[in-house]
Amino acid sequence: MSQVRAVIMRAPGTNCDAETVFAFQQAGAVVDSAHINQLIRHEKRLSDYQIMVIPGGFTYGDDIAAGKVLANELRLKLGEDILRFIEDGGLILGICNGFQVLVKAGILPGSSPASQPLITLSSNDSGKFECRWVHLGVNSQSPCIFTRGINRLYLPVAHGEGKVVADPETLSDLNVVLYYTDEHGSSNAGYPDNPNGSVGNIAGICDASGRVFALMPHPERYIRHTQHPQWTRLKKEEYGDGFQIFQNAVKWAQGL
């Protein structure tokens, strides 16, 4: 069984890197936390890893727009490295701010950092920061590597700009992985089940290969049973809902 190496990319304002490192370590990966400048200077190289992650936070204070500054750095300074990483079969995961970065860098919904962004994430319809737990339905037809074998999820969100926006043509071509639902699984749920007003109740998407995945909810914040807000009232489970996302990534990467 080959050893899987994951790199958690951080920048000024990242604040979920430690939790993401821990989640991948618990899933069996060898994990490095790397400042983006270390990757730009090639002190650490993407080619040494099978999994690249952009965790949650507020990189560069979300100046201009959420994730925009880091997205520009990826596109202009690491674009060729990221494209090669994808072509070589690597996995990319973007969580919350990472979702914002990946779409604004043009990496999603396609697979080229040089492409023109086709979708964006804008301010929540509520006009405020939304911090709550949400129910999620998983698209069983999605090619996403990270969500294999998962039907539903219950995860926390914490964002001010999580509304997926796209023109109708682009929207119809998206590989949607996750939908906001109500507690009964209806994907027609409105606020607060859909915390941001995202079109189509979209909470996560992937590229055509299923190897580049981004979602607004935080799976790294629910990898243990005791992280559930009602854990004392529920049947004890070995893991939280988010853990299988990390397990799936590591298991798949073992074959690279």
Cβ atoms of residues 214 and 174 within 8 Å: no
Enter the tokens of residue 175.
């590989």
Q: Which one from 96, 130, 135, 159 is the annotated catalytic residue?
A: 96
Q: Which one from 73, 135, 206, 218 is the annotated catalytic residue?
A: 218
220 is catalytic: yes
218 is catalytic: yes
Q: Which one from 73, 130, 161, 220 is the annotated catalytic residue?
A: 220
For β-strands 119-122 and 175-181, DSSP reports them as: unpaired
Burial (0-12, 13-18, 19+ Cβ within 10 Å), 151: exposed
Beta-bridge mates of residue 32 = 7
Which active-site residues does the annotation give? 96, 218, 220
